[in-house]
């Protein structure tokens, strides 16, 4: 365990009850040891990228305060994905839930199986829109620009629609 740090986790689902998968993933994150939820973005409906022949996603970003190490947090997220039926069969394909560590404080980590900040977060509107909602002034540790600055400069035309406030926000913070 490390000193508590603010971490942002991106969630997405495009199979089954997408909203329920996101809600359950957030509930499970709230049960991680030495972790508390600070804030959860609204839910966003987003067009698929890379593989466009699949259903739209529901995405959100959760801000947590945790003492878990990056590796412990990754393992916990992967356990949630597995518990919620994630099957890694097709790269960028449909999934019940996808959980990505976007930022772990201002740390830069590159090791086998773990890259933080997320290597494509700055290119993805479905990450930047919800992240800008809850943490607009958070600075990307590599590019040294705020989330809002990166979002304004983004050339990605992906369609992202704010759907609704996260249903548990009154309970999660």
pLDDT tens readout for residues 31-73: 999 999 999 999 999 998 877 778 999 999 999 999 999 999 9
What residues are labeled active site?
86, 95, 98, 100
105 phi-psi bin (left φ>0, alpha ψ -120 to 50, beta other): left
Q: What is the pLDDT of residues 12-39, one digit of tens each?
A: 999 999 999 999 999 999 999 999 999 9
Query: What is the length of the chain?
Result: 173
Dihedral (Cα; 163, 66, 172, 27), 10-degree rounding: 70
Q: Where are the beta strands (DSSP E) in the chain?
A: 5-13, 35-40, 43-46, 57-66, 98-104, 109-111, 114-116, 160-164
């Amino acid at each position: 365990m490390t000193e508590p740090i603010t971490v942002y986790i991106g969630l997405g689902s495009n199979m089954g009850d997408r909203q329920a998968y996101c809600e359950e993933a957030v509930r499970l994150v709230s049960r991680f040891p030495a972790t508390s939820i600070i804030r959860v973005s609204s839910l966003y409906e987003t067009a698929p990228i890379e593989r466009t022949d699949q259903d739209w996603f529901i995405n959100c970003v959760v801000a947590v305060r945790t003492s878990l190490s990056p590796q412990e947090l990754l393992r916990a997220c992967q356990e949630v994905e597995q518990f919620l039926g994630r099957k890694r069969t097709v790269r960028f394909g449909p999934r019940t839930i996808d959980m990505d560590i976007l930022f772990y404080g201002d740390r830069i980590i590159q090791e086998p199986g773990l890259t933080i900040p997320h290597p494509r977060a700055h290119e993805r509107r479905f990450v930047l829109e919800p992240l800008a909602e809850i943490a607009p002034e958070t600075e990307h540790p590599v590019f040294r620009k705020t989330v809002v600055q990166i979002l304004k400069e983004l050339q990605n035309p992906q369609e992202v629609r704010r759907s609704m406030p996260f249903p548990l926000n009154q309970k999660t913070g």
